[in-house]
Amino acid sequence: MKIDTNRWLYAGVGSVVMLFSGLIYAWSTIARPIAAFYPNWTSGQLSLTFTICMISFCFGGLYGGLSLKKRSAKANLITTAFLFLIGFTIASRSQTFIQLYIGYGIFCGFATGLCYTTTMATIGKYFPDKPGFISGVLLMSFGMGSFIIGKVYQALTGPGDAFRQSFVALGIILFVVMVVTSFFMRNPTSEEFKDDDPVEKKANPDVDMRDFAPKDMLKQPSFWLFAIWSILIGSAGLAFIAQASGIVLEVTPNMPAGNVSSIVGLISIFNGIGRVIMGSMYDKIGRQKTMLIIDVVFLSAILCLILAMTIKSSVILVGGFIVSGLGYGGLTPTNSAFAGDYFGRVHYPINLSIVNMTLLVSSFGGTIAGIIFDMSGSYFGSLIFMAACIAVGSIFGFVVRKPSI
């Protein structure tokens, strides 16, 4: 294996791209001024925006994986820039939730997925020896983006329909960032990188290093068992993110908006930290143990939140948010490392996109949690739903085995 020392420069560029495209996880903060301006819109209707965003993210990611066979990473990022600008412009003019679905949900969601797959696939080629680690670093930036964007959005957004001007500003910022960074996004040349030392196999000796085409990957029981685990853990995580502000306010009804945003932001901070920790852990102890740790940590956190809601404890609430971020943070780097380790690097961009298509199902977690709240008037039932998803998911994760020849 030969790797140019400049790979850390590209890792930095990739981190910047992921940081600014992490808006998809800022929905809980972004939705609050909209909900205040349109009080007749239900929690379920607003949560559906996040669901549509995640569905579009999946299709954007799949398109990104397929397009990298014919287009450069630079071209994909420039396309992403225009999609973000169009999406936020449409969302800024929303008079109905349908317009919000189209602008934020479809355009911005698709842009994020395209950017995500392009960056993960391109930068990952510089780190064949550290697949879990580099996935964790990039995804930490992706998760941290929601905290930073959420804070910027909150600072820019006043009462009434001020969210419209904020959407325009975010669209312009993302457009500029994507265009500028596109000039620094490229694949390593053959002189910089030659994959003749599959060190991934040393870290994970149970992994078959054969390269699986997408159609062959879909025939493997290991893929489907992992996919069910990813769907259930993702459903719990996305439900938690979509309802985070509401959970805080149910435990502490009189908390100022700024404090609510800060507590919700803890999810992003520790989600990012969890991505690096769990990604590095994947490289060292393998998939099965890493998945088990994710399950235990995430389930314990949700149980803490149930306790916090029962006894109205803000201290336990904060602890639950921190640990939830750490646990759920392990999902995305595990998805990324699993796609490369178990099914090879030749078809990695498409295979990763297919693995991430599990979000098509898990994205409804936020909508389901919103509906449960609308029916009961409490987020207690939503937390029970999250805990059940994690508990059942852990069973499927435990029985995943290496793909057969």
Return the SS3 of 194: strand
- pLDDT on residue 200: 40
98-119 confidence digits (pLDDT tens):
999 999 999 999 999 999 989 9
Considering the entire predicted model, what is its pTM? Answer: 0.75
Return the SS3 of 377: coil
Task: Judge whether residue 387 has pLDDT over 90.
Answer: yes
The pLDDT-based confidence of 405 (bands split at 50, 70, 90) is: low
Instruction: Note whether residue 2 is domain-resident.
Output: no
- pLDDT on residue 5: 54
The better pLDDT of the pair 231, 256 is held by: 231
Task: Judge whether residue 223 has pLDDT over 60.
Answer: yes
- Return the CATH number at 285: 1.20.1250.20
Task: Judge whether residue 185 has pLDDT over 80.
Answer: yes
Instruction: Note whether residue 205 is domain-resident.
Output: yes
- pLDDT on residue 191: 65
- pLDDT on residue 2: 52
- pLDDT on residue 199: 39
Q: Which of 377, 155, 103, 380 is nearest to 265 (CA)?
A: 155
Phi, psi of 194 (to 5 degrees): -135, 115
Q: Which domain holds residue 340?
A: 7-398
The pLDDT-based confidence of 190 (bands split at 50, 70, 90) is: low
Q: Are 234 and 365 in contact (CB under 8 A)?
A: yes
- pLDDT on residue 257: 72
Task: Judge whether residue 58 has pLDDT over 70.
Answer: yes
Task: Judge whether residue 270 has pLDDT over 90.
Answer: no
Instruction: Note whether residue 377 is domain-resident.
Output: yes
The pLDDT-based confidence of 196 (bands split at 50, 70, 90) is: very low
d(CA 159, CA 33): 7
Task: Judge whether residue 90 has pLDDT over 50.
Answer: yes
Q: Return the bridge partners of 194, or none.
A: 2
Instruction: Note whether residue 95 is domain-resident.
Output: yes
Total length of the chain = 405
160-184 confidence digits (pLDDT tens):
888 898 889 889 999 999 999 999 8
Instruction: Note whether residue 94 is domain-resident.
Output: yes
Instruction: Note whether residue 256 is domain-resident.
Output: yes
* Number of domains forming the structure of the chain: 1
The pLDDT-based confidence of 208 (bands split at 50, 70, 90) is: very low
- 28 by Cβ neighbours in 10 Å (0-12 / 13-18 / 19+) ranks as buried
- pLDDT on residue 396: 94
2-43 confidence digits (pLDDT tens):
555 578 888 899 999 999 888 777 777 788 888 888 888 887
- pLDDT on residue 333: 86
- pLDDT on residue 201: 44
The overall average pLDDT reported for the chain is 85
The better pLDDT of the pair 258, 287 is held by: 287
Q: Which of 182-196, 249-263, 285-299 has the highest mean pLDDT?
A: 285-299
304-332 confidence digits (pLDDT tens):
999 999 999 989 999 999 999 899 989 98
63-85 confidence digits (pLDDT tens):
998 898 888 999 999 999 999 99
Phi, psi of 41 (to 5 degrees): -80, 130
- pLDDT on residue 204: 47
